[in-house]
Structure 1
Amino acid sequence: RGGSCNVDEIRLIPHCNGTHTECVGHISDRHIAIREVLQEALIPATLLTVTPRPAAEVRDQYLPTPEAGDMLLIRSDLESALAGVEADFLAALVVRTLPNHPTKVSRDYLSASPPYFSLDAMRFLLELGVQHLLVDIPSLDRMFDEGRLSAHRIFWEVAEGTHQINPATASRRTITEMIYVPDALPDGTYLLNIQIPDFALDAAPSRVWLYGLKKP
């Protein structure tokens, strides 16, 4: 009492409030913490830029059914962008969407439905063995999706409607949402560092670094 110093109080919901990294604990009834899942310091990664497509004009699927005006990140675009990428650099995938306006860092995403991943696209990333997925949108899934989190479930290999997940055998994959990748950074391969506080939560605020590689 009466101390001459500042003592700040922090109240935080990591999801949908800036860059954050989450684990399968996000959809589990049993406690699984991001600090226990994210262990790597430097991860081989690929940065790619894709343009979302009108859901009404593509064959890719999503549950629930997309609404008029929805935009999807689709499998064929990811296949084209990743053709020829070395498997070692698919441990992490950093997805930059177009248009890439700087207002992404402070945008009110509730005013319009942002793009999201088709289920076909998510199955493709699973086939590639991607372990860490980083995106510049608020969620892999549609903002209002009836609570299904269909894309998350595919990535974490959790059946629809299931919340009973064994921490000992649970997926070690992570999802980082609401990043921003400046245009000055070209598509290509990098080393990725995801920094998080040591929170025993399903998700934590994160800071993402991409380190360029030089050929000898």
Structure 2
Amino acid sequence: GGAVNFFNVSFNPHAHGTHTETAGHITKERHSINSNFKNPYTKSVLLTVTPIQGVVTFDDFLVQWERASSKHWLDQTESVILRTEQHEGSLLREYSNTDWPFLASEIGSFLRSSGIDHLIIDQPSVDQEEDGGALACHRSFWGPTPLESLHRTITELAHIPI
């Protein structure tokens, strides 16, 4: 080929669409998802949860979890997909400054202690848009020693059809 015009494009998937994070998202050092996320094929369960005043509470989550458990849907499950409120047009929705629904931090620690390695949600974050940097659900899912949880992932802004 001959000489052509081209441009470098910078893209931050965290701010522009579906993205998957490891505990490296909150650690001081960088940790590549490619080095830590080894099995993209896992048994998953889909739970539909309803935010109350913008929060998916632990009690409401637990109702759905126990319902799935009673049907043995959680046997050997490694991934939990949480559908909160997938509205029509959500694929084109601008989420900035909307204070989207978020998860109570207890949900993250419960999933970790239950052996769940992958959390998938249809919102821009498992945490509140503005939380002063607490990232409570992220931190509770990856635990007090996040370097031991580099294999665990959180996928946010996933499109989960009804």
Q: Same fold (TM over 0.5)?
A: yes
Query: 1:127-152: per-residue Cα shift (whole Å, max 9, x none)?
Result: 22110000000111111111111111
Structure showing greater radius of gyration is 1
Q: Distance in 2 between matches of 1:41 and 1:109?
A: 27
* Aligned residue number for residue 49 of structure 1: 48
Counterpart code for 2:150: S
* Aligned residue number for residue 103 of structure 1: 89
SS of 1:77's partner is helix
Measure how far apart 1:126 and its partner are.
2.0
SS of 2:120's partner is strand
Counterpart code for 2:157: M
RMSD over aligned Cα atoms: 2.0
SS of 1:48's partner is strand
The answer to whether the Cα contact below 8 Å between 1:72 and 1:116 also exists between their aligned partners in 2 is yes
Query: Which runs of no fewer than 5 residues in structure 2 stay unpaired?
Result: none
Query: Which runs of no fewer than 5 residues in structure 1 stay unpaired?
Result: 55-70, 160-164, 184-216
Change (3 A) 1:3 1:21: same
The answer to whether the Cα contact below 8 Å between 2:142 and 2:152 also exists between their aligned partners in 1 is yes
* Aligned residue number for residue 3 of structure 1: 3
Change (3 A) 1:102 1:8: farther
TM-score (norm 1): 0.66
Q: Distance in 1 between matches of 2:137 and 2:109?
A: 9
The answer to whether the Cα contact below 8 Å between 2:106 and 2:140 also exists between their aligned partners in 1 is no
Q: Distance in 2 between matches of 1:141 and 1:22?
A: 13
The number of equivalent residue pairs is 157
More helix by share: 2
